[in-house]
Amino acid sequence: MAKLILSRLLQAIPVLWAIATLTFFMVRLAPGDPFTDEKQIPPEVRANIEARYGFDKPLGEQYLLQLKQWAKGDLGISYKHPGRTVNQIISEHFPVSLELGLWALLVALSVGIPAGVLAALKHNSRWDYLPMSLAMTGICLPTFVLGPILALVFGVKLGWFSPAGWDSPGDRVLPALTLGLYFAAYVARLARGGMLDILSRDFIRTARAKGLPEWRVVCSHALRGGLLPVLTFLGPACAGLITGSFVVEKVFWVPGLGTYFVDAAFARDYTVIMGTVLFYAVLIVGLNLVVDLLHALLDPRVRDAQA
């Protein structure tokens, strides 16, 4: 396990460096800058502002200074939110995005796993075709389409939930469903495929031949191996749930980090853009590492390969 952790951490270093480098040059080479505004400012004032934030230096020197800042954990000061650092913005608003992601993950697992297991147990029956057809529909329906539909039906027409905001427990329902149902479709299909593979194995036939109840065969013998594809998917799924909340947060006016990122992209707030990208990159690397460790604990073949 120590070898696996060390290997993943060493692989993460060049990945994070590449993400930081690409993000820096992409945002700097885009048209405009953080001080581009409809209102014209005198050239001398603009020169002072650029000198204050280091924009008067060559691009390569700016890049090296940014690398030094990032290595210290300093993500800089927001250009569009005076007096606030990117670290403060992340620490204040990421908990909202994290809560939304956790609720969406709960929806994805609680809907997707039972649907996939049921489809595998009732293979080639209507209880197989119906959940998988709904799953395919969910995969084809993006969150920016599903979100407004849910807000219109359950928020505006029926009035069951608030279509915007993050003040009461009911405000969590529609954003979590919008984000979670999309990933529930993938979980359902992966759970079905994994369970079908395990249910055809010899040890499952042996367990049934011994007269074990079907629920015990499924729960004690089949689920552990059948849900391995779902577990493998959880790494990118968790990353997708958190980063996918950018659109959902804007649709439902959720005050999470995604809202700040979208606003920063329009305002060319370089430090917020780069700081958010780096923060999520580190988070995704950590999530993938946790998933790899869980996979190794559940699958002896992975542990043997790392030995």
Residue 245's pLDDT is 73
Residue 304's pLDDT is 55
Instruction: In whole angstroms, give the CA distance from residue 191 to residue 110.
Output: 12
Instruction: In whole angstroms, give the CA distance from residue 95 to residue 89.
Output: 11
Is the distance from CB of 250 to CB of 258 less than 8 angstroms? Answer: yes
Residue 292's pLDDT is 72
Q: How many other C-beta atoms lie within 10 A of the C-beta of residue 131?
A: 25
Residue 24's pLDDT is 86
Helices 86-121 and 245-252, packing angle to 10 deg:
100
Per-residue pLDDT tens listing for the chain (307 residues): 677 677 777 878 888 888 888 888 888 877 766 666 645 666 766 677 667 767 777 778 888 888 888 888 888 888 777 778 888 888 888 888 888 888 988 988 888 888 888 888 888 888 888 888 877 777 777 777 888 888 888 888 888 888 887 888 888 889 888 888 888 888 888 888 888 887 777 777 777 777 777 777 777 767 777 777 887 777 777 777 777 677 888 888 888 888 788 888 887 888 888 888 888 888 888 877 777 777 667 666 655 555 5
Instruction: In whole angstroms, give the CA distance from residue 241 to residue 176.
Output: 10
Q: How many other C-beta atoms lie within 10 A of the C-beta of residue 147?
A: 23
Cβ within 8 Å of residue 16, ≥6 positions away = 278, 281, 282, 285
Lookup: tokens for 298? 């559940």
- Residue the block writes with tokens 């990933």: 183
Query: Which amino acid makes up residue 89?
Result: I
DSSP 153-166: IIIIIS-SS-SS-S
Backbone angles phi, psi at 77, to 5 degrees: -110, 140
Lookup: tokens for 259? 């809202």
Per-residue pLDDT of 279-299, as tens digits, reads: 888 888 887 777 777 766 766
Residue 251's pLDDT is 82
CATH class of 95-269: mainly alpha
pTM: 0.74
Instruction: In whole angstroms, give the CA distance from residue 259 to residue 245.
Output: 9
DSSP 10-47: HHHHHHHHHHHHHHHHHHHHSSS-TT--SS---HHHHH
Instruction: In whole angstroms, give the CA distance from residue 237 to residue 243.
Output: 10
Residue 1's pLDDT is 64
Start-end of CATH 1.10.3720.10 domains in the chain: 95-269
